[in-house]
Structure 1
Amino acid sequence: MYMNHVEEQQDLFQEIVMQLWKAYPTFKGNSKFSTWMYRVALNTALVYFKKDKRKVDKTPLDENIDIIDVNESELKEEKLAYLYKAVQELNSIEKALIFLFLENQSHKEIAENLGISEVNARVKLNRTKEKLQFIIKKNGYEF
């Protein structure tokens, strides 16, 4: 979700794996391993994103395929592509919130991963969902 192109996604994945490898000796077991892993991965993604200051590709999607005779699988893929395009307009923290939400993380787990309170996680997540809905409507991504 953080990178637009496959090559950039692969670079970020390698960076996350490297940081996990380096940070593993510091894992103290105070939280679940998966929570610790999410936190390291998320922090790495945020730092990587800020460091490279990648530009968001804002090409319009109006030139996409005609939806006549599109089967269910293609329709789902198109909806997912629209969601990813909309997510690209969010800032890095909002992307992290949506990513963790889509991973079925609880508000408590999201808060732990981002280092914020559970109440703050709920508020930020609700605001981010509203912003995402606005972006989807604004860009005509609705079906």
Structure 2
Amino acid sequence: MVDPRFESPVDRSIREAVERGDFDDLPGKGRPLPGAGGTGPVDENWWIRGYLQREGISGDALLPPSVQLRKELDAIDTTVAGFRDERRVREHVAEVNSRVVDHMRHPMGPRVPIRKLDADEVVSRWRHAREQRRTVPAAPEPAPPRRRWWRRGT
């Protein structure tokens, strides 16, 4: 027990609450914290990961801006794959390039190799991917199984 003469106001409040029984009926009393206990190594950020998962937030939001930008540059083809026209693809590439230039002028975070995108290359890959999707025939639906004539009455 802590000597009351050296007890901080916070410690005193907690001790008084324990003596009153304020913590007796809390859910999970006597059980280890989720993610902190168990047989494996303790993950110091288990509660952050749990929060992000519960809220449906990507862990990429916690990355430094330079790494976020690099990941966006690497995934440009999948990002523009859903666009319907070339004008929208070029607008998106121009917007990403403006953020690349801003980052080059005022770098933040770790140094990551970043360069501007060539809009013509991205549009060319986008067109090629669209043509590939158009030429791939859709798989025909399998025919329902035929029933034999002698089992039709059952």
Which of the five TM-score ranges fits, normalised by the shorter chain? under 0.3
From the two aligned structures, give the one with the greater helix fraction. 1
Taking structure 1 as the reference length, the TM-score comes to 0.24
Q: Which has the higher contact order (CA 8 A, sep 6+)?
A: 1
> Which has the greater radius of gyration?
2
